[in-house]
């Protein structure tokens, strides 16, 4: 029984924790009718070589008509996802496993970023093929796909873009990977290859951030997960 001398905010917190504990062992309870919200039509505002801007006319959970500005990619075509990001683990005999990262300049942020290797899926290309191609282009390394994640959103508040995370294992002792380049990329995109020991990932990310680099949210999430937050 809760004592009446407790502050009201503590009573609310106690009830919240009790409800969480009661439901955390099973599937989370959904309180919103998922079929009540819908997109009714799309009006294109502008379109460029890579991106489009549209108004999504939609109906909310209360039946009210609303408008949402949405950024999309013009390169998606018939692909289910727009792009991939690669969680590349580098293995070398006698060394700790490392994560392969890239540093590159991102004009929208006016800054250099620290990211996972990533890129757009070309027409007719599989997720696996895209992951290995982007890894090669951005890091010069060759590996094998060990897993493909679920479809996930990149920035669901403004964008329709979805992607998949692909895990790749790289044999750093293989002949094709011994001559790894420090700087890679294609026309207009230069990437600096960073090899970070997995046990020291969080420490390195803190150092990169202190130097003024922007950490990609997918990489930050991976670091939190590995640290057992």
d(CA 138, CA 21): 45
Region of poorest pLDDT, from 45-49, 188-192, 211-215: 188-192
Quick one: average pLDDT of 53-73? 96
d(CA 39, CA 6): 46
Look at residue 98 in the predicted model and tell me its pLDDT: 98
d(CA 186, CA 137): 7
pLDDT digits (tens, 9 = 90+) for 142-182: 999 999 999 999 999 999 999 999 999 999 999 999 989 99
Look at residue 34 in the predicted model and tell me its pLDDT: 63
Look at residue 79 in the predicted model and tell me its pLDDT: 78
Look at residue 13 in the predicted model and tell me its pLDDT: 44
Region of poorest pLDDT, from 65-69, 148-152, 224-228: 224-228
Look at residue 228 in the predicted model and tell me its pLDDT: 83
Region of poorest pLDDT, from 51-55, 163-167, 181-185, 199-203: 181-185
Instruction: Check if the beta carbon of residue 74 is closer than 8 Å to that of residue 153.
Output: no
- Per the prediction, the chain carries an average pLDDT of 88
pLDDT digits (tens, 9 = 90+) for 22-38: 445 566 766 656 668 99
pLDDT digits (tens, 9 = 90+) for 71-122: 999 998 777 899 999 999 999 999 999 999 999 999 999 999 999 999 999 9
- The torsion defined by the Cα of 107, 140, 81 and 144, in degrees rounded to 10, comes to -150
């Amino acid at each position: 029984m809760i004592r009446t001398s407790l502050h009201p905010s503590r009573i609310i917190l106690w009830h919240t924790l009790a409800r969480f504990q009661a439901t955390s062992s099973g599937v989370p309870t959904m309180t919103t009718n998922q079929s009540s919200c819908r997109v009714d039509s799309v009006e294109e505002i502008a379109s460029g070589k890579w991106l489009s801007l549209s108004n999504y006319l939609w109906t909310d959970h209360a039946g009210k008509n609303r408008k949402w500005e949405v950024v999309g990619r013009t390169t998606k075509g018939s692909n289910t996802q727009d792009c991939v990001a690669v969680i590349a683990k580098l293995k070398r005999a006698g060394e700790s496993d490392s994560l392969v990262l890239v540093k590159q300049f991102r004009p929208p942020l006016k800054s250099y970023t620290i990211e996972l290797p990533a890129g757009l899926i070309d027409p007719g290309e599989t997720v696996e093929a895209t992951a290995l191609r982007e890894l090669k282009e951005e890091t010069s390394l060759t590996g094998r796909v060990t897993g493909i994640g679920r479809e996930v959103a990149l920035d669901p508040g403004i964008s329709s873009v979805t992607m998949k995370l692909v895990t790749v294992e790289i044999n750093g002792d293989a002949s094709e990977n011994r001559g790894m380049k420090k700087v890679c990329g294609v026309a207009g995109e230069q990437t600096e290859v960073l090899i970070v020991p997995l046990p020291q990932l969080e420490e390195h990310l803190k150092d990169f951030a202190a130097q003024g680099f922007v950490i990609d949210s997918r990489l930050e999430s991976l670091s939190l997960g590995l640290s057992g937050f």
